[in-house]
A and B are shown apart, each in its own frame.
Chain A
Amino acid sequence: MPSNFIYAKVKRKHDLFRVIACDDNVYDMSVISLTGPEYDPATLIEEEEFYKISDFSASGFLLESLSEPLNSVDYNQISRDDLKKLSFICTVQDDLSLFQVISTGYYVSKKWFSIDELTLETDKPIITINPIPDAIYDRANDILYFKKLTIVNRIFKGMDQLYREATDVETQAFLESDFLEVVEDFTKEKVAVLNRKRIALVKETFNRFTDDEKQAIYEYTNQYGQVAYMNGKFKIETDEDLKFVLWGIEQRFYTTPIGGEKRIANSVISITPS
């Protein structure tokens, strides 16, 4: 009695397709640990961890088909042509839906032979399933687990809004802020992707600060002395300088209470109960 099904999403087609039914588990759950922090761009995860988003169905990104248990009879069998145009596959195993994004690189068009059967296969592309899925949706608890937002965005369209880059206009506006003194040859084109993401993030938080709070932020950032601070302005000469100022706004600098070592937190998790 098969308990697991693999479904697939085909590019430019709305509904999922049924691919195969299998008796055995597709994923070995003992190597997948569903642990990790709630998603926050400021938090980095360990290699074996996942980000999670609780109450995922409330976010509106959840695929319509996944809100209820999938019944394979509702889905058409995938055709051979469609198999060449997959965007992701979804394995339903127990109460979990496990996703793997398929890119053109996944179609192994190399020649291969199976170890059991020593015949060379040339025109038989295969799709391999990674032991660790790109995303997991736990319907019973309504939690989405994922590793990378850019990848999961290909499954749940629009999710990258949660963490986007600042546009050229926003970047320019930020560089023109009155607390920055940007040297002339450091233009918005030189702001790298990571800093653009940080700008998009801090923009709102920063605008919510009162003038006193802003002043406190400048002083706090200056205390850690990474960027030259003169007449109430930080001198930005490189992308690196900009990074330190952005970290300052995010209050990433801290001093160890014992030993007084100055540090930067490259990943933060809030422990204040919300």
Chain B
Amino acid sequence: MLIPIVLTAISFLIARTLPTDSLNKASVREIELANNNFLPSYLGYFFVSLSVNNNSTLIVVFVIIYVFTFLSQTLYFNPIFLLFGYQFYFFKTNKNIKIFLITKKLLKSPGDEDFNNLKRINNYTFIELN
């Protein structure tokens, strides 16, 4: 149980070296909390893993899920981030581009705060470290 938490903590350190980005508060059109979006998909994995009863099935199912999750994910969603106090948000900018933002800030309405030190995880996912 501890291993993923430690790995996540290390990932925050690695994330410091990611390229930096900024987002002006005036350019945020919409904010949507996405904290619970992970639940359905993770519950799916959870039940699949419960019904696995031998090692070979586990390996095959694990590899398949791993490969497809890895290839299909554009949003890097790690529920353990929640334990570290991070929140997940969908942002829509004035260019009508939807990005996924991970931050410790509690946000409700657009236009409250500037984001000047975002780290780019990929072209859609950004994290604000503190």
Contacts and interface: CB of A to CB of B under 8 A. Distances in A.
Interface size bucket, B side?
Answer: 20 to 34
A73 B126 CA distance: 8
Given A73-B22, A73-B93, 10 more contacts: A1-B117, A21-B22, A69-B24, A71-B21, A72-B21, A73-B23, A73-B99, A73-B120, A74-B97, A77-B19
Interface string A1-43: 1110100000000000010110000000000000000000000
Interface of B: 19-24, 26-27, 91, 93-95, 97, 99, 115-118, 120, 123, 126
Contacts of A69: 24, 26-27
With most chain A CB atoms within 10 A of its CB, the pick from B23, B95, B97 is: B95
Contacts of B23: 71-73
Nearest to A22: B20
8 contacts: A3-B22, A21-B20, A21-B22, A68-B27, A71-B95, A72-B23, A73-B120, A74-B27
Contacts, number: 52
A76 B20 CA distance: 12
A1 B21 contact: no
B19 to A, nearest CB: 6
Which 6 A-B pairs give the minimum distances between C-beta atoms?
A72-B21, A21-B20, A76-B123, A74-B95, A71-B23, A73-B23
Q: Would you call the interface of chain A mostly helix, strand, loop, or mixed?
A: mixed
A71 B22 contact: yes
B116 A71 contact: no
A123 to B, nearest CB: 23
Nearest to B97: A74
A69 B116 CA distance: 13
A168 B101 CA distance: 57
Contacts of B94: 68
Contacts of B26: 69
A72 B116 CA distance: 10
Contacts of A3: 22, 116
Nearest to A65: B95
Contacts of B116: 1-3
A73 B19 contact: no
B117 A71 contact: no
Contacts of A68: 27, 94
A2 B22 CA distance: 8
Q: Which of B97, B115, B126 lies at the interface centre, i.e. has the most chain A CB atoms within 10 A of its CB?
A: B97
Nearest to A21: B20
A57 B115 CA distance: 27
A272 B19 CA distance: 52
B27 A18 contact: no
Given A73-B126, A74-B93, A2 B20 contact: yes
B27 A71 contact: yes
